[in-house]
Amino acid sequence: MVALTYHAPESLEEAVQLLSTARQPVKVLSGGTDLIIQMQGLIQDERLVVDVKKIPGMRAADWTEDHLILGPSMSCAQFTKRQDIQTVFPGLVEAAYLIGSTQVQGRASIGGNLCNASPAADTIPALMVNRAVCLIQGLNGTRRVNVEDFLIGVGKQCLASDELLVGIELPKPTARTMDAYLRFIPRTEMDIAVAGAAVSVTLDDDGVCTDARVAIGAVSPTAILVPSAAEALIGTRLDDDALLAAAAASSQAANPISDRRGTVEFRRHVVGVLTKRAAKIAADRVGEV
Amino acid sequence: MKSHISTTINGDPVEFLCDPSQTLLNVLRNDLGMTGTKEGCGSGDCGACSVLFDGELVCACLVLGVEAQGAEIETVEGVATHDQLHVIQEKFLEHAALQCGICTPGLIVSTKALLEENPSPTEEEARYFLAGNLCRCTGYDKIIKAVMDAAATMRQGA
Ligand SMILES: Cc1cc2nc3c(=O)[nH]c(=O)nc-3n(C[C@H](O)[C@H](O)[C@H](O)COP(=O)(O)OP(=O)(O)OC[C@H]3O[C@@H](n4cnc5c(N)ncnc54)[C@H](O)[C@@H]3O)c2cc1C
Ligand code: FES
Ligand code: FES
């Protein structure tokens, strides 16, 4: 591995100070399930590793009146065990539950999944449909960036070198709103998405969809929101025609690559199917509460 | 520069010096001589290096040794008590749930974590929980039989 210098600051101020004064390239460490593997490939290089897990709040998840404030470094194992979160964001929880294995979830975090910015990252579409906002702290203060604006390319997000993701703010959904996430993999577990889709729907008492969000993953350089798919759902009872229209919109919005895990045509098709099925699951969840 | 780390392994206080680029797996095996924890892949895929870290099942190959500062770690060496094997270990032997044995320590640690969290898993739940523990030899059936039998025996308070 690379030559590492390791710090585990216990305050945000100290962390940001370390980031901005480092002489060598800096890497922020949450669970390390991406980072440690990436660093194993580098030889004769230097890195300053700033482990942010000891900073208060980074591994917590607390409700305010209107939001869930998620510490970006909380392990998926802790996150998926939280019944209070499962009830409100079942789709985000199922996305976190798909990451790797029990062991990987013991360390992997949603903030790490987001900052690593893989096109196939499972939690990102689910964060998008839930209107997540990234809370960012740098040397010159804080800023807020919507998750769909946070990602700028394959493996790239908009953090400056002195900035940290310090929280993920999730607005409490309005009444009768539920989400769902589905991905396609060739195996039943321990694999990376070939395509993924998250959907959030709000239904009125008559079952008419009054609001919706659709996001797709692994079919473009970053996960993306698909407003046209959401529009296909809004105003309908999520009947077959509406679901097919949403599926077509997702397939249309996809801009996938071909590789040995799936062709362009296959990914385009499957992301539509996943959109349709996730919309149905989200709607059924509204019916269940 | 090496860091001085104080940690707890299987209930005992342990101190070691390590380079920040060493993984916990590397420290356990090469510096502490605790070779029960195995290395299969070094990339989080096989689970041969499974240990408990502050109560959470993790891959020791994806944890830095320096992160062990102040942590509580449990390895396969802590599963048996003195010369008495744990029920899970006995059941693995009884059901011949191992051949080469490289996956076994990781599976024992993971099974223990599974049964502490869920004492009566269905076979499907057990298979999902243990999906991160790969075995190249057994074909898994004997492992699952051992796990289910261990669960039943432990429920009876053995
Ligand atoms: C065997 C295996 C299977 C996997 N399966 C999946 C899968 O099915 N789906 C999936 O989406 N991913 C998967 N992954 C990838 C990985 O586990 C996830 O992306 C995980 O969520 C990363 O979280 P982490 O806390 O480990 O991040 P880390 O590795 O700690 O960090 C990831 C990146 O984010 C940066 N970072 C972390 N925290 C912050 C912060 N607070 N501020 C700024 N930057 C930060 C780091 O510098 C690094 O660049 C898998 C990995 C392994 C090893
Ligand atoms: S050696 Fe750690 S998971 Fe394979
Ligand atoms: S017994 Fe050989 S890998 Fe499982």
**Within 10 Å of residue A86's Cβ, how many Cβ atoms?**
15
pLDDT at residue A260, as a whole number: 87
A51 - beta bridge partners? A29
Fold of A61-171: 3.30.465
Q: What is the DSSP secondary-structure string of A76-126?
A: HHHHHT-HHHHHH-HHHHHHHHTSS-HHHHTT-BHHHHHHHT-TT-SHHHH
Q: Which residue pairs from A61-64 have beta carbons closer than 8 angstroms and sit at least 24 positions apart in sequence?
A: A61/A85, A63/A172
If 0-12 CB within 10 Å is exposed, 13-18 middle and 19+ buried, where does residue B85 land?
Answer: middle
pLDDT at residue A150, as a whole number: 98
**Nearest-angstrom CA–CA distance, A180 and A280:** 9
Q: Which residue pairs from B113-117 have beta carbons closer than 8 angstroms and sit at least 24 positions apart in sequence?
A: B113/A102, B113/B50, B113/B52, B113/B57, B114/A102, B114/B147, B115/B88, B115/B147, B115/B150, B115/B151, B115/B154
**DSSP letter assigned to residue A67:** E
Q: Which of A144, A85, A145, A110 is nearest to A33 (CA)?
A: A110
Fold of A3-51: 3.30.43
Fold of A177-288: Enolase-like; domain 1 (3.30.390)
Under 8 Å between Cβ of A129 and A147 = no
* Number of H-type helices and E-type strands within chain B: 5, 5
**Nearest-angstrom CA–CA distance, A188 and A84:** 27
Q: Using the beta-carbon criterion (under 8 Å), do B20 and A6 form an inter-chain contact?
A: yes
ipTM of the complex: 0.97
CA distances from B60 to A41, A148, A211, B40, B99 (A): 18, 34, 44, 11, 23
Which parts of chain A sit beneath pLDDT 70?
1
**Is residue A231 classed as helix, strand or coil in its secondary structure?**
helix
**Nearest-angstrom CA–CA distance, A79 and A92:** 10
Percent of chain B with pLDDT over 70: 99
Cα-to-centroid distance, B136 and ligand 3 (Å): 5
Residue among B92, B102, B107 to mutate when testing ligand 3 (max atoms within 8 A of CB):
B102
Asked whether the predicted pLDDT for residue B90 surpasses 90, the reply is: yes
- Rounded to an integer, the average pLDDT of B76-103 is 97
pLDDT at residue A225, as a whole number: 98
Domain boundaries, chain A: 3-51, 61-171, 177-288
pLDDT at residue A189, as a whole number: 75
Q: Which of A235, A229, A236, A231 is nearest to A276 (CA)?
A: A229
What does the radius of gyration of chain B's CA atoms come to, in whole angstroms? 16
**Nearest-angstrom CA–CA distance, B52 and B75:** 7
Q: Which of A116, A124, A74 is nearest to A95 (CA)?
A: A124
* Predicted TM-score of the model (pTM): 0.97
- Rounded to an integer, the average pLDDT of B121-150 is 97
pLDDT at residue B158, as a whole number: 54
pLDDT at residue B111, as a whole number: 98
Under 8 Å between Cβ of B154 and B119 = yes
Fold of B3-77: Ubiquitin-like (UB roll) (3.10.20)
If 0-12 CB within 10 Å is exposed, 13-18 middle and 19+ buried, where does residue A38 land?
Answer: middle
**Is residue A240 classed as helix, strand or coil in its secondary structure?**
helix
The DSSP H or E segment spanning B53 is strand B50-53
**Within 10 Å of residue B92's Cβ, how many Cβ atoms?**
25
Closest alpha carbon within chain B to A5: B20
Interface residues of B toward A, Cβ cutoff 8 Å, are 1, 3, 19-21, 23, 42-45, 47, 50, 53, 56-59, 61-64, 66-67, 69, 110, 113-114, 128-133
How wide is the angle at C-alpha A197 spanned by C-alphas A195 and A200, nearest 5°?
A: 175
Closest alpha carbon within chain A to B42: A37
Q: Is A112 on the interface with B (CB under 8 A)?
A: no
**Tokens representing residue B113 in the block:** 């974590």
**Within 10 Å of residue A284's Cβ, how many Cβ atoms?**
12
Q: Using the beta-carbon criterion (under 8 Å), do A6 and B59 form an inter-chain contact?
A: no
- When pLDDT is cut at 50, 70 and 90, the band that residue B82 belongs to is confident
What CATH class has B87-155?
Answer: mainly alpha
Under 8 Å between Cβ of B23 and B5 = no
Cα-to-centroid distance, A97 and ligand 2 (Å): 20
Domain boundaries, chain B: 3-77, 87-155
